[in-house]
Amino acid sequence: MTPLLFLSIAAAGGLGCASRFFLDGVIRSRTRGTMSWGTIMLNLSGSLLLGLLTGFTSSQLLPGSVHLIVGAGFLGGYTTFSTASFETIRLLQERKWVAGTANGLGVLVGATALAALGFWLGSLA
């Protein structure tokens, strides 16, 4: 890995993190309730985008360096599965069994399905 590629991935990660912070705030300001819809929507959309990106790269429409910068960098900062896991545990500790289970399984299944869909769509190109 070249120094320029490393710095590009790091900068993209910072932009992804800033985007997550901004969008999570926007979503939280418009939703209420037990579920953390901001984290859920960011992880689901990030999974779809990473699937698309991977599909485009596997179809050789994008070079591997773009995949690293956007995928590992930007989308790595944009998504936050550790926060999703923390929020699932918090819900279960509060004895909100249905919400905790829906959050944990919903994000896991939904993110995997959307990544697969994105990969499939990206591979069609």
Question: Cβ contacts of residue 28 below 8 Å, gap of 6+?
Answer: 36, 37, 38
The answer on whether 38 is annotated among ligand-binding residues is: no
| Residue burial 54-74, b: 16+ Cβ < 10 Å; e: rest | bbbbeeeebeeeebbbbbebb
Q: What is the per-residue pLDDT across 26-52, written as a single tens digit (0 to 9) for each?
A: 999 999 988 999 999 999 999 999 999
- State the pLDDT confidence band at 104, using cuts at 50, 70 and 90: very high
The answer on whether 79 is annotated among ligand-binding residues is: yes
N residues, the chain: 125
For the segment 7-13, the average pLDDT, to the nearest whole number, is 98
Residue 32 has what DSSP assignment? Answer: -
Question: Cβ contacts of residue 33 below 8 Å, gap of 6+?
Answer: none
The C-alpha atoms of residue 33 and residue 66 are separated, in whole angstroms, by: 38
**pLDDT of res. 125:** 77
